[in-house]
Chains A and B, each alone.
Chain A
Amino acid sequence: GQQLNQSPQSMFIQEGEDVSMNCTSSSIFNTWLWYKQDPGEGPVLLIALYKAGELTSNGRLTAQFGITRKDSFLNISASIPSDVGIYFCAVGGGGADGLTFGKGTHLIIQP
């Protein structure tokens, strides 16, 4: 099946720092998505990417769809306490097929 390699697995940072995480795959995908999940809640869509090379921002978040269509990264600038959570990359097969998720990056902000 499809496999996504998401890294890092966890990040311990100070408030105000910038964060970067990425996902890679051995297969080509036409859509890359980034979700955030808070404890006990469902994932919330942050950014959707549909074109190779596309760079998209959502507030302090920026994500890029790799030119090879096999990778994507997510950056968070000037982190704040509410950024704590688990960030998942996900890819879709197109149409109604469900999403395949990476294993997640657990972001922890140290006081």
Chain B
Amino acid sequence: DAMVIQNPRYQVTQFGKPVTLSCSQTLNHNVMYWYQQKSSQAPKLLFHYYDKDFNNEADTPDNFQSRRPNTSFCFLDIRSPGLGDAAMYLCATSNRGGTEAFFGQGTRLTVV
């Protein structure tokens, strides 16, 4: 029944070692988002795909990249994780023209 699925739930990576987080959806929504949520803070938008069009937030570091090979899947790539990148990463989807967003369970990233 899960509609937005993130894998893995927990990821440990070494400082500077590239890491990829994945998200898939069964809702057939046009828009997929990636948010970063640090401890005791609100989710912060990193970027989103509107269909195949990529939209980066102005303050998202270059270290963060994303790929959307098809409607169902979206990936978050962190090229050189730093200790400050440890956070919960949330994937969300929404319909074209709508603002309701549906979130996955998140991936908790630890950088050692």
A interface residues (Cβ-Cβ under 8 A, vs B)? 31, 33, 35, 40-45, 48, 88, 92-104
Among residues 48 to 91 in chain B, which have CB atoms less than 8 Å away from a CB atom of chain A? 48, 50, 55, 57, 88, 90
Q: What is the interface of chain A mostly: helix, strand, loop, or mixed? A: loop
Residue count of chain B within 8 Å CB distance of chain A? 30
Residues of A within 8 A of B43 (CB): 43, 88, 99, 101
B interface residues (Cβ-Cβ under 8 A, vs A)? 4, 6, 30-31, 33, 35, 41-45, 48, 50, 55, 57, 88, 90, 92, 94, 96-97, 99-106, 108
Residues of B within 8 A of A97 (CB): 99
Q: Given A43-B103, A94-B99, A96-B50, 20 more contacts at CB 8 Å?
A: A33-B99, A33-B100, A40-B88, A40-B106, A40-B108, A41-B105, A41-B106, A42-B4, A42-B90, A42-B103, A42-B104, A43-B43, A45-B100, A92-B99, A96-B31, A96-B48, A96-B94, A98-B45, A98-B48, A98-B57
- The answer to whether A31 and B99 have CB atoms under 8 Å apart is yes
How far apart sit A77 and B112, CA to CA, in the bound complex (Å)?
A: 44
- The answer to whether B101 and A45 have CB atoms under 8 Å apart is yes
